[in-house]
Amino acid sequence: MRNLLNFISRYSNLIVFIILEAVSVWFLVRAEGYHSSGFFNGVRNVSHYITRQISGIDGYLALREKNLILARENLELRNRLESYRELLPYVPVNDSLSDDKDYIYVLARVVNNSVNKQYNYITLNKGKSDGIEPEMAVTGPDGVAGIIVSVSDKFSYAMSVLNLDFRLSVRIRKSGYFGSLRWDGFSVRQAGLYEIPYHVDIAVGDTIETSGYSAVFPPGILAGTVAEVDGSGGDFYRIVVNLSTDFRKLDFLYIVPSLKVVEQQGIEVI
């Protein structure tokens, strides 16, 4: 017994160190999956509160710029609406509109967002009570932004495109060839486009958009433009894409609940 006490007093610092380090590694492992549990939700609420205060100030300072962006988007939508109005007499009108819709958009505000980590996430102020569920797409006025990974009652938590785990099925608008978009961890403005075979005709400046194959993202949403094409080596191009969304100034985003994702996945199960 005395030996034990001696041992403890001699190595007390090491013991304290090991205990604290073990607790923080436990935090790491528990937080990794972002499952809900009382304690972690408590910590996350504190962090939401802090970042909400900061983003409040941030949002106020950037109002002028945000207004410009919204006005520009409004203008574009209005133009598009006008062009549809011409077609309206020729389009068969279906009364039960909601049956035919594939996607509906939910407006959400960015509460927290990071760009300087390897695994970046976006917190949005719409949650389960607004009908948000995991695996819904998140887009911004300029293009794709992320995908919802977990939801609480009032908030949702989205994996940003700037996350090493993020994969997106995209296609080249002009030729329709599809590949996979993923971030390489370097620049906030750029990502890599993979699996485009060597024979495809591609040039700098080509538009990259979502393919819609996953049923999470609607097809045709802008992802970026081709910045560099490297055809040397292998069967596939190495392509750098300039992302259309600037993740350093996200404010309002759209969550896109897909109405048919369950149905599509249901038939795709082998």
Which chain residues interact with another protein by CB under 8 A? 12-13, 16-17, 20-21, 23-31, 40, 43-44, 46-47, 50-51, 54, 112, 114-119, 121, 123, 185-188, 248
Rg (CA), the chain: 23
Rank residues 66 and 189 by Cβ distance to another protein and give the closer one: 189
DSSP helix, strand, coil percent of the chain (3-state; round to 5): 35, 30, 35
**Angle at the Cα of 207 from the Cα atoms of 157 and 168, rounded to 5 degrees:** 30
DSSP 3-state assignment of 231? coil
Rank residues 46 and 70 by Cβ distance to another protein and give the closer one: 46
Kindly state the smallest distance separating residue 197's Cβ from another protein, in Å.
25
Rank residues 105 and 186 by Cβ distance to another protein and give the closer one: 186
Kindly state the smallest distance separating residue 217's Cβ from another protein, in Å.
25
Kindly state the smallest distance separating residue 94's Cβ from another protein, in Å.
44
Q: Where are the beta strands (DSSP E) in the chain?
A: 106-113, 119-124, 137-140, 143-151, 156-163, 168-172, 178-182, 190-194, 207-210, 222-230, 238-243, 252-256
Kindly state the smallest distance separating residue 59's Cβ from another protein, in Å.
13
Rank residues 160 and 211 by Cβ distance to another protein and give the closer one: 160
Kindly state the smallest distance separating residue 126's Cβ from another protein, in Å.
18
Rank residues 122 and 181 by Cβ distance to another protein and give the closer one: 122
Alpha carbon distance 139, 183 (integer Å): 16
